[in-house]
């Protein structure tokens, strides 16, 4: 079985994120870049499928040069090979262009499963897996809290507001996984050393057969008009409980007409 | 008059119109004349309330065949109706289904898409609250028609009565839709409380709750206020409360009128999911907890003393 796992380098989850004043894109230089947390679950799930059913796992990532570290991180967890799509023309791409680039990189390589995290912690749109499924015309099995395979049948539990839906489809399929589907492994020392020797293909937009003019900020189908830091909230009242803390909240809530 | 399509969101337990649908209609009226797309039964029953909020038509997509497949049937119907009605914008709820349908529709019809809007003005400029609520962004769609997903509790529903015509959409699942099939729906949540993302009041607990049994006091307070229960990542990771109820960067984003945080320190991880709440009340033993910075009203104290007292006060006032 051939499995692809698509990962993104994002600013450290715990860092304050800002937009760049110059072009309103995420200021990626302002914080350490890490493997998107939800993608760690995707890598782990893909590894577990590969271990249980046999298979080869390719990491695919679109991002600036330093995103190579993120590809290596996934390789050090156990993936076999990497594809890093890096091109200056990609800067500022919207989800539409990103999905087109990923679909072009994935298409024709015979992947049975294409695994994503359910969202990135920076943009948080949750649309890329669905868009890639749309472009490739294959099954979309997303927001999975559980994945099981039997032959070419894939069954997932799709998380919903009320619980979950059991959804089935056949390979080839796009899967996205939610947090807590598994416990992502830490790369071992051996894994880190081995990752350095694993093959990573660096490809450009032209290599994928796409026009540079169709990607990047100028080609985006939505645009930021302006942005501003949320004005700081005026300081509220904080009191120390002297046996009447609950009553004082009740009085506040009454004043605010909640009760 | 310009047509704007609105995807209805229905209550998962009884199938009626959810408040988010009325919020979408309220925003859609700024852009044109809303028409609703409704999946499943009870569409004609819903027409009166949809009309009250300005929908001139409800397109009812019946048939089990369409209900048995996730996301794609929504895209297929929206695509057809955008073309048929020459719609200039599409508004869908910011649910998993809504966001994925919006994304696929954008690819399919060649339009930009804006997710998690908290406001949309008459010119189609969307307001988004990003990076855990720390930054406010105004964006527009610059290609095709405007496709927006809108967060619950973003706007107060305002009535604008009109007559709502019921139109039956006679269609069957496409080949694309048939690539995935729902074989079973499982209700796993704790019933009887409002849904977390659309609740007007959310009461949540974190590390300070100390264990699964500690959530009993959180639930009692929530029930006294008719609120939803949330939990911080520390609490869900520890297995004290189901993951479904996690509020935060990797969980649910909530924007209620009132958010009461108990025993939650307030790491960015959590703030990202609740920072846009209108009124925030914080109870924590640790006076240094960063969440006090967001508090409109805070009490430094033991939540097991403060919360039951608050619950008793609320119960006695409502009796």
A241 lies in some domain: no
Among the listed residues B282, B94, B279, the one whose alpha carbon sits nearest the alpha carbon of residue B204: B282
With respect to residue B186, please indicate whether it lies within any of the assigned structural domains: no
Which tokens is A258 given?
């909640």
Examine residue A12 and state whether it is found in any structural domain, yes or no.
Answer: yes
Whether residues B107 and B212 share a domain: the answer is: no
Quote the pLDDT of residue B102: 98
Cα Rg of chain B (Å, integer): 21
A256 chain-B contacts, CB cut-off 8 A = 258, 279
Interchain contact B103–A (C-beta under 8 A): yes
Residues B3-28 have a mean pLDDT of 95
Q: Examine the pLDDT at B251 and tell me if it is beyond 90.
A: no
**Residue A204 contacts B where some CB pair is shorter than 8 Å:** no
Find the closest chain A residue to B106 by CA distance: A96
For residue B184, tell me if it sits in a domain.
no
| Chain B residue at shortest CA distance from A156 | B182
**pLDDT score for A180:** 77
**Could you tell me if residue A116 is inside a domain?**
yes
Evaluate whether residue A245 is within a structural domain: no
CATH (domain of A110) = 3.40.50.620
Contact call for B281 and A252, based on CB within 8 A: yes
Q: What Rg, from alpha-carbon coordinates, does chain A have? A: 22
* Domain contains B188: no
B15 and B129 co-located in one domain: yes
Which is more confident, B117 or A235? B117
Residues of chain A falling short of pLDDT 50: none
Q: Residue A158 to residues A102, A118, A181, B77: CA-CA distances in angstroms?
A: 23, 11, 11, 22
Residues B213 and B143 grouped into a single domain: no
Q: Measured between alpha carbons, how far is A256 from A254 in angstroms, rounded to an integer?
A: 5
B54, B102: one domain: yes
Q: What are phi and psi of B190, to 5 degrees?
A: -85, 120
B200 and B67 inside one domain: no
- State whether residue A213 sits within 8 Å of chain B by CB: no
Residue contact A246–B294, C-beta within 8 A: no
Quick one: which of A216, A104, A133, A94 has its CA closest to B147?
A94
Contacting residues for A163 by C-beta, under 8 A, at least 6 apart: B185, B186, B187, B188, B189, B244
> Which of these, B203, B281, B319, lies nearest to A253 by C-alpha position?
B281
Average pLDDT value for chain B: 95
Instruction: Name, in order, each residue with C-beta under 8 angstroms of A201's C-beta and a sequence gap of 6 or more.
Output: A81, A82, A83, A84
Residue numbers in A near B125 (CB within 8 A):
225
Tell me if A104 is assigned to some domain.
yes
Q: What percentage of chain A reaches a pLDDT higher than 90?
A: 88
Closest CA to B76 of B4, B172, B140, B141: B172
B10 and B146 together in one domain: yes
Q: Which of A37, A240, A249 is closest, CB to CB, to B297?
A: A249
Listed ranges B73-87, B189-203, B246-260; the one with the highest mean pLDDT: B73-87
Q: Which two structure tokens, joined as six digits, stand for A100?
A: 């087109």
Do the Cβ atoms of B296 and A249 come within 8 Å?
no
The DSSP letter of residue A206 is T
Can you give the pLDDT at residue B12?
83
Range of the domain at A12: 2-219
Q: Of B280, B121, B288, which is closest to residue B202 (Cα–Cα)?
A: B280
Across the interface, which of B95, B96, B309 has its CB nearest the CB of A246? B309
pLDDT at B146: 97
- B148 shares its domain with B31: yes
**pTM across the whole model:** 0.93
Q: Where are the alpha helices (DSSP H) in chain A?
A: 37-53, 68-77, 95-106, 128-136, 189-195, 245-255
Residue B108 has a pLDDT of 98
Residue B131 lies in a domain: yes
Q: What is the ipTM of this complex?
A: 0.95
Least confident piece of the model among A237-246, B108-117, B241-250, B272-281: B241-250
> For position A18, what pLDDT does the model report?
87
Predicted local distance difference test score (pLDDT) of residue B190? 67
Q: Is position B190 within any domain? A: no
pLDDT tens for residues B268-277?
889 989 998 9
Query: How many domains, in total, are found in chain A?
Result: 1
pLDDT recorded at residue B189: 67
Using the structure block, give the residue that is written with the tokens 């189908």: A221
Position B171 scores a pLDDT of: 92
- Residue A196: the pLDDT is 97
CB-based contact, A224 to chain B, within 8 Å? yes
Nearest CA in chain B to A166: B184
At B134, is the pLDDT very low, low, confident or very high (cuts 50, 70, 90)? confident
* Residues B143 and B49 both lie in one domain: yes
pLDDT at residue B71 is higher than 90:
yes
**Is B140 exposed, middle or buried (CB count within 10 Å of its CB: 0-12, 13-18, 19+)?**
middle
pLDDT of residue B317: 86
Residue B76 lies in a domain: yes
Asked if the Cβ–Cβ distance from B249 to A258 is below 8 Å, we say: no
Domain total in chain B:
2
The reply to whether B298 falls in a domain is: yes
A95-106 helix and B96-109 helix, angle to the nearest 10 degrees: 80
Mean of pLDDT over chain A:
95
Q: What is the pLDDT of residues A223-252, one digit of tens each?
A: 999 999 988 888 899 999 999 999 999 999
Backbone angles phi, psi at A22, to 5 degrees: -70, -45
Of B179, B212, B227, which residue sits at a domain end? B179
Confidence check: pLDDT of B32 > 90:
yes
Residue A15 lies in a domain: yes
Please tell me the distance from the alpha carbon of residue B17 to that of residue B5, in angstroms, as a whole number: 16
Task: Identify the band that residue B319 occupies on the pLDDT scale cut at 50, 70 and 90.
Answer: low
- Write down the pLDDT at residue B132: 80
Domain range for B290 is 196-318
Q: Which of residues 114-133 of A touch B (CB under 8 A)?
A: 121-122, 124-131, 133
Nearest partner of A116 among A17, A44, A198, judged by Cα: A44
Q: What is the pLDDT of residues A117-136, one digit of tens each?
A: 999 989 999 999 999 999 99
Residues B165 and B244 in one domain: no
Task: Kindly state the average pLDDT of the residues B54-69.
Answer: 94
Phi then psi dihedrals of residue B271, to 5 deg: -55, -35
Q: For residue B124, what are the contacts with CB-CB under 8 A and spacing of at least 6? A: B31, B89, B140, B141, B146
For the domain that residue B137 is a member of, what is the CATH number? 3.40.50.620
């Amino acid at each position: 079985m051939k499995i692809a796992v698509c990962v993104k380098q994002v600013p450290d989850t715990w860092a304050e994120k800002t937009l760049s004043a110059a072009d309103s894109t995420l200021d990626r230089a302002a914080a350490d870049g890490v493997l998107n947390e939800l993608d760690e679950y995707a890598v782990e799930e893909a590894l577990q499928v590969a271990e249980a059913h046999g298979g080869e796992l390719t990491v695919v990532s679109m991002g600036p040069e330093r995103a190579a570290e993120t590809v290596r991180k996934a390789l050090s967890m156990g993936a076999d090979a990497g594809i890093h799509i890096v091109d200056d023309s990609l800067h500022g791409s919207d989800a539409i262009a990103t999905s087109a680039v990923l679909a072009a990189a994935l298409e024709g390589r015979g992947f049975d499963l294409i695994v994503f995290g359910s969202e990135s912690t920076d943009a948080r749109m949750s649309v890329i897996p669905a868009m890639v499924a749309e472009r490739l015309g294959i099954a979309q099995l997303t927001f999975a809290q559980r994945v099981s395979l039997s032959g070419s049948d894939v069954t997932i539990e799709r998380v919903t507001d009320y619980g979950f839906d059991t959804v089935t489809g056949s390979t080839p399929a796009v899967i996205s996984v939610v947090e807590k589907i598994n416990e992502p492994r830490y790369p071992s020392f051996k894994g880190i050393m081995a990752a350095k020797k694993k093959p990573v293909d660096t490809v450009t937009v032209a290599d994928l057969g796409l026009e540079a003019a169709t990607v990047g900020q100028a080609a985006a189908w939505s645009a930021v008009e302006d942005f501003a830091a949320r004005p700081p909230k005026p300081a509220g009242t904080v009191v120390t409980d002297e046996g009447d803390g609950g009553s004082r909240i009740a009085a506040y809530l009454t004043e605010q007409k909640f009760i | 008059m310009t047509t704007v399509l609105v995807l209805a969101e229905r209550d998962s337990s009884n199938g009626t119109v959810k408040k988010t649908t009325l919020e979408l209609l309220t925003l859609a009226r700024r852009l044109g004349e809303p028409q609703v797309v409704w999946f499943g039964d009870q569409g004609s029953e819903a027409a009166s309330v949809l009309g009250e909020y300005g929908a001139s038509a409800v397109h009812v997509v019946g048939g089990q065949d369409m209900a048995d497949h996730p996301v794609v049937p929504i895209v297929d119907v929206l695509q057809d109706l955008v073309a048929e009605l020459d719609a200039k914008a599409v508004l869908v709820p910011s649910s998993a289904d809504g966001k994925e349908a919006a994304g696929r529709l954008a690819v399919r019809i060649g339009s930009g898409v804006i997710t998690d809007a908290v406001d949309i003005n008459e010119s189609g400029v969307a307001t988004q609250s990003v990076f855990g609520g720390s930054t406010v962004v105004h964006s527009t769609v610059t290609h095709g028609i405007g496709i927006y997903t809108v967060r619950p509790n973003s706007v107060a529903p305002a009535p604008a009565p009109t007559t709502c015509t019921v139109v039956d959409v006679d269609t069957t699942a496409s080949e694309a839709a048939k690539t995935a099939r729902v074989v079973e729906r499982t209700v796993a949540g704790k019933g009887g409380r409002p849904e977390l993302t659309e609740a007007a009041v959310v009461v949540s607990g974190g590390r300070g709750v100390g264990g699964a049994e500690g959530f009993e006091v959180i639930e009692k307070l929530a029930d006294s206020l008719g609120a939803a229960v949330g939990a911080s990542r520390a609490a869900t990771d520890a297995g004290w409360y189901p993951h479904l109820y996690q509020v935060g960067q990797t969980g649910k984003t909530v924007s209620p009128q009132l958010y009461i945080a108990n025993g939650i320190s307030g790491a960015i991880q959590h703030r990202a999911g609740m920072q846009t709440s209108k009124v925030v009340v914080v109870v924590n033993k640790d006076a240094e907890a960063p969440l006090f910075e967001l508090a409109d009203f805070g009490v430094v104290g033991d939540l097991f003393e403060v919360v039951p007292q608050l619950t008793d006060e609320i119960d006695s006032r409502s009796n």
